[in-house]
């Protein structure tokens, strides 16, 4: 039947029409290429070498298991550590012995040794200037009662402002008068921020803290003035190497530090190479500076570095390998689920539509009750009883996913069962199953083929969603949804969001393009005219 369907002139015409749609055609082949790459993932991302040449013999560990005793004679029959084996004298001193690894030397379940990561071996001393903060207590008529650092914010030296009106020194916005009036009237007020200017056009920030009504109205209100830092006050950095030599100097600021401060900073730098240290506070030209010591530490998840271009996840596994292996699992799951659901839906819909009558009505009521069952609860229940697995996930999805396609097949069979070629087949005494699958089904496959790519995309999206919720594949199975779940926990780890999302977007977009092309290829009205 399949061969006759392929050789059918109508099928060939639809194939040529699909091929003429370049977006769908190239999307199909890109999807095939991606799936082929994922099927050969062990040849691309693997900690097991492709080829080992040892003592004149050839070994292929990626295809066959070899115990450690074969290479070391240690009597151990466990799997050897090939990366450690490559550094032994047997391979370093003898050029005829060699090991060839895949392009990426980490598998999806390998935990990466933090000491093996190539990170910067330097400490950055960051000197950040702290903004000056002053306070002013005022009465309801804006008379200053007391102040701290008011002279700096006014722009004049030795100005306390006591007994003076605040408007003598600053241009105040209208909103600040309303906020002060509410507080002096003993009414609740939220945290408020304002920008004010002194008479020298210097801009500062004024803060009014949250106010809660008291037993008596306040006599004074405190305004907090905060200096607005400009680009000239950005943090400066001095970079040290492990020998405490300055690699990147900031000579201007560094020269202004006192000798005791320099010694203290160098002591902290030496200590920072071993462990985290506290910040320091120092004074330069009358301004307070916070001195922090920054070094790139290995903490998982870790951003992309050499050898791990997509970064490392929270368990210390290579994201590149997990994305590639996750692609294979997602596409395999989608193809198996869509295929099984389609076959089961065809069988159920075919018998319903062909037999009709009481059988059709009864089966339809049963399907309606079955489709009303909550899938997620069934999945949770089955997972708690039998444990999470790839097969269980396929089973639970499969027993619900066939219902939709059965409706379309049933409708096609109800339409075709009274046609002349079906009546002729009955008169010839052809068995029922042959009439259904040999005569009617080839004419009813249009909705099945049209919806298959969209079923594949939906299955992949469902698997990712279930993995994201924690009810999908068991750990440590590579999964895009599991990476996205980690991204929710570590929201600063942008690589855990970007790469799985990009892979999911590309696969689903290609699947939609293919589905759109198949749908247009099977559309008998290629062009429509609107009047």
Question: SS3 sequence, 115-160?
Answer: HHCCCCCCEEEEEEECCCEEEEEECCCCEEEEEECHHHHHCCCCCC
Structural domains in the chain, sorted by start: 2-17+314-521 (1.10.3720.10), 51-100 (no CATH), 120-297 (3.30.450.20)
| Rounded mean pLDDT, 190-201 | 90
| Rounded mean pLDDT, 476-496 | 93
Instruction: For residue 215, give both structure tokens.
Output: 């037993």
pLDDT of residue 529: 44
pLDDT of residue 509: 95
More confident residue, 394 or 156: 394
The DSSP call for residue 470 is: T
* Residue percentage of the chain with pLDDT more than 70: 96
Predicted confidence (pLDDT) at residue 334 exceeds the cutoff of 90: yes
Least confident piece of the model among 81-85, 233-237, 436-440, 477-481? 233-237
Least confident piece of the model among 47-51, 359-363, 430-434? 430-434
- HSE toward the beta carbon, residue 16, CA cutoff 13 A: 7
Query: pLDDT grade, residue 419 (50/70/90)?
Result: confident
Predicted confidence (pLDDT) at residue 152 exceeds the cutoff of 90: no
pLDDT of residue 483: 95
Predicted confidence (pLDDT) at residue 16 exceeds the cutoff of 90: no
Convert the pLDDT of each residue in 448-464 to its tens digit.
888 899 999 999 999 99
Predicted confidence (pLDDT) at residue 525 exceeds the cutoff of 80: no
Q: Measure Cα distances from 404 to 435, 442, 465 in Å.
A: 23, 19, 20
Query: pLDDT grade, residue 2 (50/70/90)?
Result: low
pLDDT of residue 76: 85
Nearest in space to 304 (alpha carbons), one of 315, 325, 318: 318
CA distance 10 to 19: 14
| Rounded mean pLDDT, 228-247 | 83
Convert the pLDDT of each residue in 254-288 to its tens digit.
888 888 888 899 899 989 888 888 998 888 887 88
Instruction: For residue 120, give both structure tokens.
Output: 């910067």
Instruction: For residue 461, give both structure tokens.
Output: 């999206």
Query: pLDDT grade, residue 311 (50/70/90)?
Result: very high
Tokens 């530490």: give the residue: 297
Predicted confidence (pLDDT) at residue 524 exceeds the cutoff of 70: no
pLDDT of residue 361: 92
CA distance 278 to 381: 50
| Rounded mean pLDDT, 56-64 | 91
| Rounded mean pLDDT, 340-362 | 91
| Rounded mean pLDDT, 71-95 | 87
Convert the pLDDT of each residue in 383-395 to its tens digit.
888 888 888 888 8
Predicted confidence (pLDDT) at residue 136 exceeds the cutoff of 60: yes
pLDDT of residue 531: 44
Assign residue 149 a region (left: φ > 0; alpha: ψ between -120 and 50; beta: otherwise). Answer: left
CA distance 2 to 8: 10
Predicted confidence (pLDDT) at residue 526 exceeds the cutoff of 60: no
Query: pLDDT grade, residue 1 (50/70/90)?
Result: low
Q: What is the b/e burial string over 30-67, where b = at least 16 CB atoms within 10 angstroms of the residue's CB?
A: ebeebbeebeebeeebbbbbbebebeeeebebbeeebe
Neighbour tally for 397: CB within 10 Å:
22
| Rounded mean pLDDT, 32-45 | 94
For 360-380, the DSSP string reads HHHHHHHHHHHHTS-HHHHHH
Nearest in space to 223 (alpha carbons), one of 286, 145, 116, 318: 145
Predicted confidence (pLDDT) at residue 230 exceeds the cutoff of 80: no
Query: pLDDT grade, residue 519 (50/70/90)?
Result: confident
List the Cα angle 113/38/449 in 5-degree steps.
150
């Amino acid at each position: 039947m399949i061969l006759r369907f392929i050789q059918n002139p109508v099928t060939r015409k639809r194939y040529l029409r699909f091929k003429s749609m370049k977006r769908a055609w190239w999307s199909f082949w890109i999807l095939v290429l991606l799936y082929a790459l994922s099927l050969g993932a062990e040849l691309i991302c693997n900690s097991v070498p492709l080829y080992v040449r040892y003592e004149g013999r050839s070994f292929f560990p990626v295809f066959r298991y070899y115990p450690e005793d074969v290479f070391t004679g240690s009597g151990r029959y466990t799997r050897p550590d090939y990366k450690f084996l490559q550094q032994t004298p047997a391979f370093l001193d003898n050029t005829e012995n060699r090991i060839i690894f895949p392009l990426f030397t980490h598998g999806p379940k390998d935990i990466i040794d933090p000491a093996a990561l190539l990170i910067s071996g330097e400490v950055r001393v960051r000197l950040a200037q702290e903004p000056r903060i002053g306070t002013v207590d005022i009465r309801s008529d804006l008379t200053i009662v007391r102040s701290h650092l008011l002279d700096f914010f006014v722009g004049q030296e030795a100005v306390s402002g006591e007994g003076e009106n605040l408007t003598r020194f600053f241009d105040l916005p209208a909103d600040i008068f309303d906020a002060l009036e509410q507080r002096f009237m003993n009414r609740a007020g939220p945290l408020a921020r304002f920008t004010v200017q002194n008479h020298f056009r210097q801009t500062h920030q004024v803060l009014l803290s949250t106010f809660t009504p008291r037993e008596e109205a306040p006599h004074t209100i405190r305004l907090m003035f905060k200096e607005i830092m400009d680009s000239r006050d950005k943090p400066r950095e001095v970079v040290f190497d492990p020998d405490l030599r300055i690699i990147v100097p900031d000579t201007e600021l560094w020269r202004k530090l006192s000798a005791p401060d320099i010694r203290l900073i160098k002591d902290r730098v030496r200590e920072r190479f071993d462990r985290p240290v506290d910040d320091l506070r120092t004074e330069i030209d009358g301004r307070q500076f916070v001195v922090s010591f920054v070094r790139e530490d290995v903490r998982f998840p870790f951003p992309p570095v050499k050898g791990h271009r997509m970064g490392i996840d929270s368990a210390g596994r290579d994201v590149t390998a997990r994305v590639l292996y996750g692609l294979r699992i997602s596409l395999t799951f989608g193809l198996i689920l869509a295929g099984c659901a389609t076959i089961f839906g065809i069988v159920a819909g075919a018998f319903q539509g062909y037999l009709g009558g009481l059988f059709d009505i009864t089966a339809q009521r049963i399907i309606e009750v079955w489709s009303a069952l909550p899938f997620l609860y069934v999945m949770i229940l089955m997972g708690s009883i039998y444990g999470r697995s790839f097969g269980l996930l396929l089973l639970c999805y499969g027993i619900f996913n066939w219902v939709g396609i059965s409706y379309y097949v049933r409708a096609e069979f109800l339409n075709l069962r009274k046609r002349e070629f079906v009546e002729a087949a009955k008169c010839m005494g052809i068995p029922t199953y042959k009439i259904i699958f040999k005569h009617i089904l080839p004419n009813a496959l249009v909705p099945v083929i049209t919806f298959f790519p969209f079923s594949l995309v939906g299955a992949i999206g469902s698997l990712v969603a279930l993995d994201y919720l924690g009810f999908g594949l068991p750990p440590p199975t590579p999964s895009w949804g599991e990476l996205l779940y980690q991204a929710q926990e570590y929201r600063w780890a942008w690589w855990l969001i970007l790469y799985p999302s990009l892979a999911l977007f590309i696969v689903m977009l290609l699947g939609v393009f293919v589905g759109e092309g198949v749908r247009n290829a099977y559309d008998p009205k290629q062009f429509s005219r609107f009047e």
